[in-house]
């Protein structure tokens, strides 16, 4: 698997372009950031075909780039968990009003549930529902590659914020302990912000998850 990380927008959101191999043209995108211009430029420069985008949750800094992305690649298929899908059309729920904009998007193409499998561009990802940051927050596990995309659920030495509407710290910590920590310690975790970590490292050292 080939993974390119782009850091997008003023919130420095990680957007991942995922391909089956270095030579593959079809790709899968995970989160779009607040500003997708660098993402679109990357896709065009490398002549890639984004067949789908999976949104790990419905907050503004992960979804606003969707508008521009759909404008350039009208065929792209959009995935999001069922519980966060309404956020795409609600500027208050997706927090875009707090940034001075009122972002609304067309409905997603596919509503996800816990345990679903997404298969696009030769990539196979299992959906792990990890509520707490948002009600429909998800992580995406590629078992064969020993990696998981964790959105804003888990970070290196930290966890997602829970002070926005729909957030719940107890629920978030429970999600991490029951859905992410059972994965093998060597599993690489690719977060929505910041640097990559591993499940084993966060088990041992994450201050929010000790005791």
Task: State residue 98's pLDDT score.
Answer: 85
Task: State residue 9's pLDDT score.
Answer: 86
pTM equals: 0.96
Nearest alpha-carbon partner for 121 in 2, 15, 39, 35: 2
Give the CA distances from residue 11 to residues 105, 106, 194, in Å, rounded to whole numbers and listed in that order.
20, 23, 11
Q: What architecture is domain 2-209?
A: 4-Layer Sandwich (3.60)
Sketch the domain layout of the chain as residue ranges.
2-209
Query: What is the signed CA dihedral for 128, 129, 132, 134, rounded to 10 degrees?
Result: 120
- Secondary structure class of 141 (helix, strand, coil): strand
End-to-end CA distance of the chain: 35
For 178-185, the CB contacts below 8 A with 24+ separation are: 179/128, 179/129, 179/130, 179/139, 180/128, 180/130, 180/139, 180/148, 180/150, 180/153, 180/154, 181/209, 183/141, 183/148, 184/146
> Over its length of 211 residues, how does the chain's per-residue pLDDT go in tens digits?
999 999 998 899 999 999 999 999 999 999 999 889 999 999 999 999 999 999 999 999 999 999 999 999 999 999 999 999 999 999 999 999 888 888 998 899 999 999 999 999 999 999 999 999 999 999 999 999 999 999 999 999 999 999 999 999 999 999 999 999 999 999 999 999 999 999 999 999 999 998 7
Task: State residue 143's pLDDT score.
Answer: 96
Task: State residue 10's pLDDT score.
Answer: 86
Asked if residue 192 lies in contact with residue 186, where contact means CB atoms within 8 angstroms, the answer is no
- Secondary structure class of 207 (helix, strand, coil): helix
Task: State residue 68's pLDDT score.
Answer: 93
Asked if residue 125 lies in contact with residue 117, where contact means CB atoms within 8 angstroms, the answer is yes
The residue behind tokens 């997603």 is 108
């Amino acid at each position: 698997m080939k993974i390119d990380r782009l850091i997008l927008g003023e919130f420095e959101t990680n957007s991942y372009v995922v391909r089956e191999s270095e030579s593959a043209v079809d790709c899968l995108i995970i989160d779009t950031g607040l500003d997708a211009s660098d993402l679109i430029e990357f896709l065009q420069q490398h002549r890639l075909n984004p067949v789908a985008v999976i949104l790990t949750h419905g907050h503004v800094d992960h979804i606003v780039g969707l508008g521009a992305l759909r404008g350039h690649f009208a065929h792209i298929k959009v995935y999001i968990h069922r519980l966060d899908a309404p956020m795409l059309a609600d500027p208050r729920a997706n927090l875009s009003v707090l940034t001075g904009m009122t972002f609304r998007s067309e409905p997603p193409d596919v509503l996800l549930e816990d345990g679903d499998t997404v298969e696009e561009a030769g990539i196979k990802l299992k959906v792990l529902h990890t509520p707490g940051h948002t009600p429909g927050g998800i992580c995406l596990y590629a078992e064969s590659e020993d990696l998981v995309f964790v959105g804003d659920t888990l970070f290196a030495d930290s966890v997602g914020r829970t002070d926005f509407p729909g957030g719940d710290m107890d629920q978030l910590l429970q999600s991490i302990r029951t859905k992410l920590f059972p994965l093998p310690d060597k599993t690489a975790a690719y977060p929505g912000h910041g640097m990559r970590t591993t499940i084993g490292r966060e088990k041992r050292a994450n201050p929010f998850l000790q005791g």
